[in-house]
Structure 1
Protein backbone atom coordinates (compact mmCIF):
# COMPACT_ATOMS: atom_id res chain seq x y z
CA UNK A 1 0.00 0.00 0.00
CA UNK A 2 1.42 3.41 -0.96
CA UNK A 3 1.51 6.36 1.42
CA UNK A 4 -1.28 8.09 -0.53
CA UNK A 5 -3.63 5.09 -0.47
CA UNK A 6 -2.79 4.42 3.19
CA UNK A 7 -3.71 8.03 4.06
CA UNK A 8 -6.96 7.83 2.08
CA UNK A 9 -7.84 4.56 3.84
CA UNK A 10 -7.17 6.14 7.25
CA UNK A 11 -9.33 9.16 6.39
CA UNK A 12 -12.17 6.89 5.19
CA UNK A 13 -11.96 4.87 8.41
CA UNK A 14 -12.10 8.02 10.55
CA UNK A 15 -15.07 9.37 8.55
CA UNK A 16 -16.93 6.09 8.97
CA UNK A 17 -16.24 6.00 12.71
CA UNK A 18 -17.41 9.61 13.07
CA UNK A 19 -20.64 8.94 11.15
CA UNK A 20 -21.35 5.83 13.21
CA UNK A 21 -20.77 7.73 16.45
CA UNK A 22 -23.12 10.50 15.35
CA UNK A 23 -25.84 8.01 14.42
CA UNK A 24 -25.56 6.23 17.75
CA UNK A 25 -25.74 9.48 19.70
CA UNK A 26 -28.93 10.51 17.87
CA UNK A 27 -30.68 7.26 18.77
CA UNK A 28 -29.90 7.68 22.45
CA UNK A 29 -31.09 11.32 22.58
CA UNK A 30 -34.57 10.86 24.09
CA UNK A 31 -33.30 8.29 26.57
CA UNK A 32 -30.48 10.61 27.61
CA UNK A 33 -32.95 13.46 28.18
CA UNK A 34 -35.15 11.28 30.36
CA UNK A 35 -32.19 9.97 32.33
CA UNK A 36 -30.95 13.53 32.87
CA UNK A 37 -33.69 14.23 35.42
CA UNK A 38 -36.57 14.92 33.04
CA UNK A 39 -40.03 13.40 32.75
CA UNK A 40 -42.61 13.16 29.96
CA UNK A 41 -45.38 15.67 30.51
CA UNK A 42 -48.61 15.50 28.50
CA UNK A 43 -50.62 18.57 27.60
CA UNK A 44 -47.96 21.26 28.00
CA UNK A 45 -46.43 21.45 24.50
CA UNK A 46 -47.38 24.14 22.03
CA UNK A 47 -48.48 23.22 18.50
CA UNK A 48 -45.59 21.55 16.68
CA UNK A 49 -43.28 21.74 19.71
CA UNK A 50 -43.88 18.34 21.32
CA UNK A 51 -40.99 15.95 21.92
CA UNK A 52 -42.97 12.88 20.90
CA UNK A 53 -46.30 11.04 20.70
CA UNK A 54 -49.13 13.06 19.32
CA UNK A 55 -51.81 10.52 18.53
CA UNK A 56 -53.08 8.94 15.33
CA UNK A 57 -51.90 10.46 12.08
CA UNK A 58 -48.71 11.90 13.57
CA UNK A 59 -45.20 10.53 13.65
CA UNK A 60 -43.41 11.96 16.65
CA UNK A 61 -41.51 15.11 17.60
CA UNK A 62 -42.97 18.35 16.31
CA UNK A 63 -46.22 16.83 15.05
CA UNK A 64 -48.79 18.02 17.59
CA UNK A 65 -51.70 19.71 15.85
CA UNK A 66 -52.81 22.06 18.64
CA UNK A 67 -51.46 23.84 21.71
CA UNK A 68 -51.69 21.77 24.91
CA UNK A 69 -52.69 18.58 23.08
CA UNK A 70 -53.51 15.90 25.65
CA UNK A 71 -51.80 13.05 23.82
CA UNK A 72 -48.58 14.92 23.02
CA UNK A 73 -45.75 15.11 25.53
CA UNK A 74 -42.73 17.29 26.16
CA UNK A 75 -39.78 16.69 28.46
CA UNK A 76 -39.85 18.85 31.59
CA UNK A 77 -37.62 18.75 34.69
CA UNK A 78 -38.50 15.88 37.03
CA UNK A 79 -41.25 16.83 39.47
CA UNK A 80 -42.51 19.88 37.55
CA UNK A 81 -45.05 18.34 35.15
CA UNK A 82 -48.04 18.42 37.46
CA UNK A 83 -47.17 22.02 38.40
CA UNK A 84 -46.99 23.24 34.77
CA UNK A 85 -50.13 24.98 33.45
CA UNK A 86 -52.21 23.16 30.86
CA UNK A 87 -55.52 24.85 30.02
CA UNK A 88 -56.85 21.69 28.33
CA UNK A 89 -56.14 19.32 31.23
CA UNK A 90 -58.90 18.27 33.65
CA UNK A 91 -56.73 19.53 36.52
CA UNK A 92 -55.40 22.63 34.75
CA UNK A 93 -51.86 21.21 34.90
CA UNK A 94 -49.68 18.86 32.87
CA UNK A 95 -50.25 15.13 33.30
CA UNK A 96 -47.91 12.14 33.49
CA UNK A 97 -50.36 10.19 31.27
CA UNK A 98 -52.14 11.27 28.11
CA UNK A 99 -55.65 12.64 28.54
CA UNK A 100 -58.66 13.85 26.57
CA UNK A 101 -58.59 17.64 26.33
CA UNK A 102 -61.30 19.71 27.93
CA UNK A 103 -62.58 22.64 25.91
CA UNK A 104 -62.90 25.97 27.66
Structure 2
Protein backbone atom coordinates (compact mmCIF):
# COMPACT_ATOMS: atom_id res chain seq x y z
CA UNK A 1 0.00 0.00 0.00
CA UNK A 2 1.49 3.33 -0.99
CA UNK A 3 1.53 6.37 1.28
CA UNK A 4 -1.40 8.14 -0.45
CA UNK A 5 -3.64 5.10 -0.16
CA UNK A 6 -2.64 4.66 3.48
CA UNK A 7 -3.38 8.33 4.30
CA UNK A 8 -6.71 8.23 2.48
CA UNK A 9 -7.68 5.02 4.27
CA UNK A 10 -6.66 6.47 7.63
CA UNK A 11 -8.62 9.69 7.01
CA UNK A 12 -11.69 7.72 5.96
CA UNK A 13 -11.44 5.51 9.04
CA UNK A 14 -11.17 8.52 11.35
CA UNK A 15 -14.10 10.25 9.66
CA UNK A 16 -16.21 7.10 9.99
CA UNK A 17 -15.34 6.78 13.68
CA UNK A 18 -16.21 10.42 14.30
CA UNK A 19 -19.54 10.08 12.49
CA UNK A 20 -20.39 6.94 14.47
CA UNK A 21 -19.57 8.77 17.71
CA UNK A 22 -21.76 11.76 16.85
CA UNK A 23 -24.61 9.51 15.73
CA UNK A 24 -24.54 7.49 18.96
CA UNK A 25 -24.54 10.65 21.10
CA UNK A 26 -27.48 11.99 19.12
CA UNK A 27 -29.38 8.71 19.48
CA UNK A 28 -28.68 8.63 23.21
CA UNK A 29 -29.91 12.21 23.60
CA UNK A 30 -33.08 11.38 21.66
CA UNK A 31 -33.73 8.43 23.97
CA UNK A 32 -33.24 10.63 27.06
CA UNK A 33 -35.66 13.25 25.69
CA UNK A 34 -38.32 10.74 24.62
CA UNK A 35 -41.67 11.58 26.16
CA UNK A 36 -40.68 15.20 26.75
CA UNK A 37 -41.51 18.50 25.06
CA UNK A 38 -40.12 22.03 25.08
CA UNK A 39 -42.08 24.33 27.37
CA UNK A 40 -41.48 28.08 27.06
CA UNK A 41 -41.82 30.66 29.81
CA UNK A 42 -41.54 28.39 32.87
CA UNK A 43 -37.86 28.38 33.83
CA UNK A 44 -36.24 30.46 36.51
CA UNK A 45 -33.37 32.77 35.54
CA UNK A 46 -30.31 30.73 34.60
CA UNK A 47 -32.17 27.41 34.75
CA UNK A 48 -33.45 27.08 31.18
CA UNK A 49 -32.52 24.08 29.05
CA UNK A 50 -32.02 26.19 25.92
CA UNK A 51 -33.22 28.95 23.56
CA UNK A 52 -32.99 32.14 25.56
CA UNK A 53 -32.94 34.68 22.76
CA UNK A 54 -30.33 36.87 21.08
CA UNK A 55 -27.00 37.17 22.83
CA UNK A 56 -27.29 33.88 24.70
CA UNK A 57 -25.51 30.63 24.03
CA UNK A 58 -28.08 28.18 25.34
CA UNK A 59 -28.69 26.28 28.58
CA UNK A 60 -28.53 28.31 31.77
CA UNK A 61 -28.45 31.68 30.01
CA UNK A 62 -31.93 33.08 30.61
CA UNK A 63 -31.76 36.46 32.29
CA UNK A 64 -35.09 36.64 34.15
CA UNK A 65 -37.57 34.25 35.71
CA UNK A 66 -40.19 32.92 33.26
CA UNK A 67 -38.46 34.43 30.20
CA UNK A 68 -40.77 33.88 27.23
CA UNK A 69 -38.16 32.67 24.76
CA UNK A 70 -36.38 30.27 27.13
CA UNK A 71 -37.57 26.67 27.46
CA UNK A 72 -37.28 23.62 29.70
CA UNK A 73 -38.02 20.02 28.81
CA UNK A 74 -41.11 18.73 30.60
CA UNK A 75 -43.12 15.51 30.32
CA UNK A 76 -45.24 15.51 27.16
CA UNK A 77 -48.71 16.92 27.73
CA UNK A 78 -47.89 18.90 30.88
CA UNK A 79 -46.53 22.19 29.52
CA UNK A 80 -49.73 24.18 29.21
CA UNK A 81 -50.86 23.07 32.68
CA UNK A 82 -47.79 24.56 34.38
CA UNK A 83 -48.77 27.84 36.05
CA UNK A 84 -46.24 30.58 36.82
CA UNK A 85 -46.71 34.10 38.23
CA UNK A 86 -46.62 35.30 34.59
CA UNK A 87 -49.12 32.78 33.20
CA UNK A 88 -49.02 29.22 31.91
CA UNK A 89 -46.30 27.46 29.98
CA UNK A 90 -46.42 27.51 26.19
CA UNK A 91 -45.36 25.14 23.42
CA UNK A 92 -44.17 28.15 21.40
CA UNK A 93 -42.03 31.14 22.42
CA UNK A 94 -43.88 33.88 24.27
CA UNK A 95 -43.61 37.64 23.72
CA UNK A 96 -42.40 38.53 27.21
CA UNK A 97 -39.02 39.21 28.76
**TM-score of the pair, normalised by structure 2:** 0.68
- 1:98 aligned residue: 93
- 1:67 aligned residue: 65
For residues 21-32 of structure 1, the aligned pairs below 5 Å read 24-25=24-25, 27-28=26-27, 30-32=29-31
TM superposition shift of 1:87: 2.5
1:44 pairs with 2:39: no
Q: CA RMSD in A?
A: 2.4
Segments of 4+ moved more than 6 angstroms? none
Q: What are the Cα deviations for residues 16-41 of structure 1, in whole angstroms up to 9, with x where unaligned?
A: x9xx859x53x55653343x200000
Q: SS where residue 51 of structure 2 aligns?
A: strand
TM superposition shift of 1:74: 0.1
Whole-Å Cα distance in 1 between the matches of residues 56 and 21 of structure 2? 28
Q: Which runs of 5+ in 2 are unaligned?
A: 1-16
Whole-Å Cα distance in 1 between the matches of residues 55 and 89 of structure 2? 23
Q: SS where residue 50 of structure 1 aligns?
A: coil
Whole-Å Cα distance in 2 between the matches of residues 85 and 63 of structure 1? 22
Q: What are the Cα deviations for residues 35-92 of structure 1, in whole angstroms up to 9, with x where unaligned?
A: x20000000111111000000010100100011000000000000000001322xxx2
**TM-score of the pair, normalised by structure 1:** 0.64
